[in-house]
Structures are given as structure tokens and as C-alpha cells.
Structure 1
Amino acid sequence: MIPKVMPPLAELTVLVTRPAAQAAGLCEQMQRNGAATIAFPAVEIEPVTAEAARGHDLIIFVSVNAVAHGVHLIEKGPTTRIAAIGKATAAALKETSLPADIVPEAGFNSEALLAHPDLTLPDGAKVLIVRGSSGRELMQETFTARGFIVETRDVYRRIRPSIDDATRDALETRWQLEGIDVVTATSIETLHNLIGMLSERGRALLRETTLLVASRRIAEAAQAAGLNGTLIVANGADDVSMIGALARWRTRARAA
């Protein structure tokens, strides 16, 4: 008899904290791999008004949300190159009239994009960064230090969702009685929002729960916030990276 092969995420319950519009895809993929999922958005994306942009040598989109809320503002010139901070952002751009020319193979963050060998520009080049408000300044500072003319377009902002006590209490009771094995966090802001949305009971549960994060920076923020559970660090915030990291951790845990 051929032994039954368990799906890689079987018997795991995962709390997915992405924005509602983006949580569905990750939940579906995790379910296909055997996990039970609970969608609990800890961040909402709100578009903001921004001016149109033209005449840039390089345009960088820092997230899928930057594409969704900013691509309509961009007029690409004949020599303009488009850069995406990661593969999920590149996939979003592929569905528009602005496919990415430059995408990091791994890392999926500002550092990885800045280190890309094709990210070369002539002196005095104009760079546009399409992003959310309150984002990291590393790219802007780095390009400015290299002597380029840098502009930004903040096309969305992240806000903490409002939650009623009944919804919060139902989640925390489910967590306490039946358990949640893993909580996701794809940004520092999402992590901080989640902590603020929970009661002291929920924060106590979170402190001991395994956390699946999209970068080392988020892992460091979790440790600084006093979260003591196991940290699983993915190579990026896209579905493939998050599920892959979780599946590898699960396989190692079963073998131990």
C-alpha cells in the first residue's frame, strides 16, 4: 500500500493579517497546501491623491499597492525603465502597460533592488519612487547620495482597521480554546497594528505563537515588541515565499 502523503501545511491553523483584498489569495493557497486559515486584516490600504508623473529615467514601484494606486499616474518615456521591488510587484505590473524591466531575483526589499546589477543610471538621471506614505527612505537617500534627482509619489496610506469588541473576543476565544499555530506579518506596521487591535489576553497569546514574517526587519521588530514565539523568516511577502518558508519549517518540525 502506498503511504498517504500529507499536504505540507496539514494540521496547521494560520492567522492571515494581510489587507482584506490580498488575504484571500494567500488563504486559498495555504488551504490548498492543507492549512486551515483565519483572515484577520491588521492593515487597510487607503488611496491618496497624487500628481501625475513624466520625464523620469527610472520608475520604481515598491509594492503591489503602489501598482494598484499609482500606475495610472505614470507616463513612460521611450527610454524609461521600470523597476519592481519584488516578484509580486512585478507580477502586478505585468498586468498593466508598464511591465518591469528590473526585478531582484531574491531578497525582495530595498537593499536587494539597490544591489541589482542592471540598476545603472547616467549622471543626473531622474528617479521616481511610487510608494505608500510613511515608507522607508533608504532608496530615496541612496539615489540622492549617488547624485540622481529623486522624486516620490505617495499613492496610498496604511491605516489600522477598526474592530468591534465582539469580533476581537471571538478570535481570542477561538485562539485560546482551539489554538492558532502561526500568525503572519508582512510589514512592521501590520505587526504593530495587530498588537494594538488585541486585548491583553490576545497579546499574551500572540507573544507565544509562531510568527511568519516577510523580512528580517519584521523579525527584529517582533523581538523588540516582546514576542517570544518561534520566528519563521520568508524571503519576501509574496505568496510563494511565505508558503515556502512555512512549509520548510513544518517539514523540519515533523522530522525533529
Structure 2
Amino acid sequence: MKKINILITRPEPENSLSCKKIQELGATPVPLPMLEISPISGKQEQATIRSQIFNIDEFHYVIFVSKNAARLACEWLDECWPMLPTGVHWIGIGQGTTKILLEEGVPALSNPGNTSEALLEWLKPAKMTNQKVLIVRGIGGRTTLGDKLQEKGANVQYLALYERKKPDYLAQTFFMLPDIDLIWVTSGESLENLSEYVSRYQSDWKHLPILTPSIRVNEQAKEMGWSNSHCAHGADDTSLLEATKLHTG
């Protein structure tokens, strides 16, 4: 890979892991997370989470929408379920999310794609009428998956384990960065936060090649004025690295 500077906007701890892989391939990572992940810490909220985890055996499907959802859920499962309940279909959206679950002993399956839309396509043959589905996510996530499953007759509930916050950066943070050749963005919310900062401090970046994780986010980038956006068809490092090679020669 060419010696280029790649801006990595993932939240931690994924940001550091991606930076390490980029270094191994000879490029220079420039970490600048555009989301902060904060586990829910209020006593009342945690009591509600604990109650939902104790009742997780009532669900036919438990779907984890992100690596953070999987990571935090496994901590709660370890606390509440020394042995996992049987009869539950554990599903991770994306290979990275599923890998975390498998490493923690959760026998999860993964759909072939990396998005809620791909999961819905994969679940088309499944009978969802009166099936209880728990979607594990952060506060205020997209409702597309739950809405579509409810349309198929499923009884959908949500379990929010974290909240996403916009990092607080000053102008000097951007002015001190090296020249950027390529940008990785891995969610619509990260894109929104990055776009807000770029419009304020680095408007020229809107012409840089930017890699997005899905067609939906890629269209969002174009609508927000990114003139050189490309879909990597995945938020995982492998997909983004392949797209990086393609768009940097």
C-alpha cells in the first residue's frame, strides 16, 4: 500500500485496532474518533438492563447491532447467566460483531452482509409471526430493523447498553493534523459529526476520497457535499482496506 495518511474516525477501542492494521500495511493512520461510546451507568438504568438480561431466555432471537453492543452485552451475560440459556438464536450484524460474541462463548450466527437491510433479506424465509425479538444497541439507534420485523409479525423489544456522544474538538486539533489523503467513516452518525467539523475547520476535505460502510451512508455523504465518496460495502477493516487499495492505486 502507498505511504498515505488515512484519517480513521471509528470510536475506541476499534480506532486503535484499525490504526494498527493500517500501519502493518505501510500506510500512516491518523486517529480522530467521531463518536464516543459511553456505557449506561445510572443505577436505575442499570437495574432495568439487569432485569432485561435476566429475562433474555424468553426471546427467540437476540440481535446485536454493533461491536459495542456485543462487547457490553457479554459483560452483562457473564454476570447474570453463568450458563447461557438454550433455545435462543443469537445473531450479530456483521462479521466483527459476531466474532466478538463467538470469542466470548456466545454461539452467534452472522448474516452474509453488514447492515440491518442485509439481515432483513437473510431473515426473509424465517417465520417471525409471534416471535419475540430483542435488539441490543445504543440509545436512539435506527429503528428500521425493528420496524420491519414488527411488520412481519414479530414482537420486538430493545435493550440499550450505551450512548453515543459527539467528541469535543477545538479548531487547533484539525490545524495540527498532517495532510490527509483518504478518510474512513463507519457510520452515518460519525459522518454527520465529521461533516459538521469539516464544514467549520477543513472545508477542503469535502473533496478528499472518503470510504463509507454502506450504500445508505454513501448516499448520505453525497447529499452532505462529499464529492468523492465511495462505498466499501462493510464497516470492517477487511472491507475498508480492500476499498482503500482500490481507490489509492
Return the TM-score normalized by structure 1: 0.84
Equivalences for residues 160-175 of structure 1 within 5 A? 160-171=166-177, 174=178
Match of 2:204 in 1: 205
Cα deviation per residue 1:50-81 (whole Å; 9 max; x = unaligned)? 34332111100011010122233455432111
Match of 2:121 in 1: 115
Structure 2 spans left out of the alignment, 5+ residues: 41-45
Q: Which amino acid aligns with 2:70?
A: V
Taking the aligned partners of 2:120 and 2:71, their CA distance within structure 1 comes to 23
Return the TM-score normalized by structure 2: 0.87
What's the CA shift for 1:146?
A: 1.2
Match of 2:3 in 1: 11
* Aligned alpha-carbon RMSD (Å): 1.9
Pair 1:123–1:217, CA change in 2 (3 A): closer
Instruction: Kindly tell me the number of residue pairs found equivalent between the two proteins.
Output: 233
Taking the aligned partners of 2:198 and 2:240, their CA distance within structure 1 comes to 23
Taking the aligned partners of 1:165 and 1:61, their CA distance within structure 2 comes to 36
Are 2:79 and 1:87 aligned? no
CA contact (8 A) 1:59 1:83 kept: yes
Partner secondary structure for residue 135 of structure 2: strand
Match of 1:5 in 2: none
Taking the aligned partners of 1:34 and 1:219, their CA distance within structure 2 comes to 26
Structure 1 spans left out of the alignment, 5+ residues: 1-8, 252-256
> Which among 64, 68, 79 is matched to residue 65 of structure 1?
68
Taking the aligned partners of 2:140 and 2:125, their CA distance within structure 1 comes to 24
- Identity fraction in percent: 30
Q: Which amino acid aligns with 1:96?
A: E
Taking the aligned partners of 1:123 and 1:147, their CA distance within structure 2 comes to 4
CA contact (8 A) 1:18 1:186 kept: yes
Equivalences for residues 1-256 of structure 1 within 5 A? 9-48=1-40, 49=46, 50-51=49-50, 52-53=52-53, 54=56, 55-74=58-77, 76-100=84-108, 102-105=109-112, 107-116=113-122, 120-121=126-127, 123-171=129-177, 174=178, 179-198=179-198, 200-202=200-202, 204-228=203-227, 230-251=228-249
CA contact (8 A) 1:82 1:98 kept: yes
CA contact (8 A) 1:56 1:77 kept: no
CA contact (8 A) 2:9 2:184 kept: yes
Taking the aligned partners of 2:206 and 2:246, their CA distance within structure 1 comes to 22
